[in-house]
Amino acid sequence: MTSDAPHRRYLYLALAAGAIVALDQATKALVMAWIPLHHSIPVIEGLFNLTHVLNPGGAFGFLAGQGPLVRQSLFVVATLLAVGLILYYFHHTPPGYRALAAAFTLILGGAVGNLIDRLRFGEVVDFLDFYIGRYHWPAFNIADSAITVGIGIFIGHLFFNRLPD
């Protein structure tokens, strides 16, 4: 391993997580510019809309009923703690565990993307609306998708790979 290999890992982390944040923020900006709040654009009739909604809570509206100061404080602190843990675990991920490193990168990019919304607006912009008939999955965004895929890879790693000591 060359002496600059660890630096390349962090460059990869910064560039890949930064790309996720940029894509997340760009898509949210387009939604805010082109779709009025609480309006939808059908993409696949009966299955998928682009719907502009704001989520003051967490996943599935968690804590949405709490006051804005409580929500904002809890989510910002929780996100900063999560980012710290992600960086810690990324640092301790052996070089051969690329899927695990990618999982941490996805989670980091998604967490930062949603943190930006919370700091800017006090809530998160969601717009991906999947449904069947009148049954809708809660709307989500690119950051949520990155977090979900990252967690899925992480869980897969826990179940199917030997974790380093």
- Given a contact cutoff of 8 angstroms between Cβ atoms, the answer to whether 156 and 89 are in contact is no
Looking at 24, 117, 126, 129, which residue is catalytic? 126
Looking at 24, 117, 129, 144, which residue is catalytic? 144
Angle at 83 between CA 81 and CA 89, to 5 degrees: 105
**What is the C-alpha to C-alpha distance for residues 73 and 24, in angstroms, rounded to an integer?**
22
Question: For residue 65, which phi and psi values (nearest 5 degrees)?
Answer: -85, -5
129 catalytic? Reply is no
Which residue reads 């977090």 in tokens?
Answer: 147
Residues tagged active-site: 126, 144
